[in-house]
Amino acid sequence: ETGVTQTPRHLVMGMTNKKSLKCEQHLGHNAMYWYKQSAKKPLELMFVYNFKEQTENNSVPSRFSPECPNSSHLFLHLHTLQPEDSALYLCASSHRTSGRAETGELFFGEGSRLTVL
Amino acid sequence: KNQVEQSPQSLIILEGKNCTLQCNYTVSPFSNLRWYKQDTGRGPVSLTIMTFSENTKSNGRYTATLDADTKQSSLHITASQLSDSASYICVVKREGGSYIPTFGRGTSLIVHP
């Protein structure tokens, strides 16, 4: 148990559906992340929220829409996805500090396995 | 360009044997390097962190080394167990600038009985 919970664990959706992935962290962290993991590729950073403010949008298509209502919750809204969007979507959190004290450890959830038909 | 390269891409060993995974990086300036273990269908979990001044660090049967001069790290697994079957990911954090770390592709390890 890492303290980061993702739901649903598995999701199958058609290209015209609208769905959402949810992430909740119980670690008191102040930064949350969405990563995409495809087979044989490094984890790809999608979005970063630092103190609820989006600080990174890594050229992600607009069919992915993040939402961070507070520092403990993160959503990824999905709309008109493509089959190539099928992947494992990982949420992570970390505790951001200033300067050298920050170690950068990311705490990941179990992931949401998305299949787009 | 900041990169992290891992080798081998995949590895199959027999239970009880030792193995070593490699990580080369170009991330600069260097802050720290982590090895994560990712079981199938799970999220990655940090095994160990190496900072600039550390050469070797152990976590049970896992021993990580760091050569900051050659920008290389290794993860040595002793007396492998079936539960060691997983993907091992090398992640390097840059000093200053972006706090977002750089991930390697990972090494897929399979331990057979």
CB neighbour burial string for A33-66, b if at least 16 within 10 angstroms, e if fewer: bbbbbeeeebbebbbbbbeeeeebeeebeeebeb
CA distance A60 to B28: 26
Of residues A42, A105, A113, nearest to B46 (C-beta): A105
Phi-psi sector, B109: left (phi>0), alpha (psi -120 to 50), beta: beta
What pLDDT is recorded for position A41?
Answer: 84
Mean pLDDT of B84-96: 93
Mean pLDDT across chain A = 90
Cross-chain Cβ contact B101/A96 below 8 Å: no
Nearest Cα of chain A lies from the Cα of B67 at a distance, in angstroms, of: 19
Provide the pairing of β-strand A4-7 with A53-57. unpaired
What pLDDT is recorded for position B21?
Answer: 98
Q: Which of B1, B9, B17 is nearest to B82 (CA)?
A: B17
CA distance B31 to B102: 11
**Percent of chain A residues topping a pLDDT of 70:** 95
Question: B107: nearest CA in chain A?
Answer: A40
Instruction: Give pLDDT tens digits for B21-60.
Output: 999 999 988 999 999 999 998 999 999 999 988 899 999 9
Instruction: Give pLDDT tens digits for B62-78.
Output: 999 999 999 999 999 99
- The yes-or-no verdict on residue A4 having pLDDT over 80 is yes
Instruction: Give pLDDT tens digits for A5-62.
Output: 999 999 999 888 899 999 999 999 989 999 999 987 889 999 999 877 777 777 899 9
Mean pLDDT of B14-18: 97
